[in-house]
Amino acid sequence: MRPLRASAAPFVLFLTPSALAATPVHIHGAADGCPAPRQVADALNGAFLSHLADVAPDSDGIVATIEDSGSRYRVSIGEIVHKFIDDELRCDERVRSAAVFLLLQIEPPGLAPEPKAVEPRSSRKVPSPALSSTVTAPVPTTPHKRPVVVDLQLAAALGGNVDSKVSVAGGGALRLSVGIQPVALALGVGGQSPVTLHLRDAQAHLTRVPIDLDVRGRLFFGRVELAADLGVAATVGIFSGFGLATVRSSTRLEWGLRLAVQTQVWFGRLALFVAIESVIVPNPVGVVVYSAQTAEIVGYSPKFWLAGLAGLAVRFF
């Protein structure tokens, strides 16, 4: 019988990374964020050699934090912070970018881990997150930020003139905004069903077609966008009298100041929004009643208009 020879090869096969001491890496952040900490941890565990990622609230290992702010998100580990921009809210791409960034900081290329004996967790020495700040590894490129953002809003409106005798009417509005992330230009056009003007010794119907050009300022809090518009409004007003011996119609143009605030909640490229807008007309149009011999101004169009809007927004770029 031939004697058995000892071989080291079978034992080498068992010295895999899973058998080495795994340094914990805790991913902190909102569970429903984009990217979600759990997804980033799963991606890291598929690439780590000597670490183990989880979402435990512990701080006994390396701690990485993910903060989702809508079109922007940041990933930090120790004193190293990297900011990303993603206007399209591509969560899968965000998971990959965050995982690559953390992997390069924790296990830089070319630094293979040295095998070491398994130690009890209580006696294991965990490197401080501050040590990772000395690693000079390349940082992944920030996702490309589109220089121009184009949004289109379609809304139903309900409002009217605000004076001693309020008349409410329904309508709609279409508004296009083009700009960069915090500031944009908005062009809107709308239509409104007739309102009744109660004038001195007469009544008239007024149908409004407002057109406005505004500067829009925007703030983002995760998926929520807050915006304010300030601009000029040119309103085409169609006046028609009724209840008079002689009824005439006329079309006039009014200039005013438009102010609006709105809230949008984005779901990818679509958003639901509500808004309140007001239009102030410094020089309202006079309403004239014509008789057989004279023409008399019996009142003016309202100076202040107020409306509420609700609808859908689409982001094209």
Q: What is the pLDDT of residues 192-229, one digit of tens each?
A: 888 888 777 677 788 889 999 999 999 988 889 999 99
Q: In b/e form, how buried is each residue of 177-193, taking b as 16+ CB within 10 angstroms?
A: bbbebeebebebebebe
Task: Give the count of beta carbons closer than 10 Å to the beta carbon of residue 122.
Answer: 5
Q: Work out the pLDDT band at 255, boundaries 50, 70, 90.
A: very high
| pLDDT band, residue 314 (cuts 50/70/90) | very high
Residue-level pLDDT at 133: 42
The angle, 0 to 180 degrees and rounded to 10, between the axes of the packed helices 37-45 and 91-106 is 50
Domain ranges of the chain: 16-134, 149-315
Handedness of CA 271, 272, 274, 279 (dihedral sign): positive
CATH fold of 149-315: Porin (2.40.160)
How many Cβ atoms from other residues are within 10 Å of residue 12's Cβ? 10
pLDDT digits (tens, 9 = 90+) for 50-93: 778 888 777 777 888 999 888 888 899 888 888 898 877 888 88
Please name which of 217, 218, 212 lies closest in space to residue 231, comparing C-alpha atoms: 212
Residue 258, pLDDT score = 97
**Average pLDDT value for the chain:** 78
> Which is more confidently placed, 227 or 165?
227
DSSP string, 76-95: EETTEEEEEE-TT--HHHHH
pLDDT for 206 = 85
Please write the tens of the pLDDT for every residue from 113-129.
554 454 555 545 545 44
H-run or E-run covering 139: none
State residue 270's pLDDT score: 94
Residue 164 pLDDT > 60: no
Structure tokens at 313: 């927004």
The dihedral of CA 91, 97, 101, 104: what is its sign?
Answer: positive
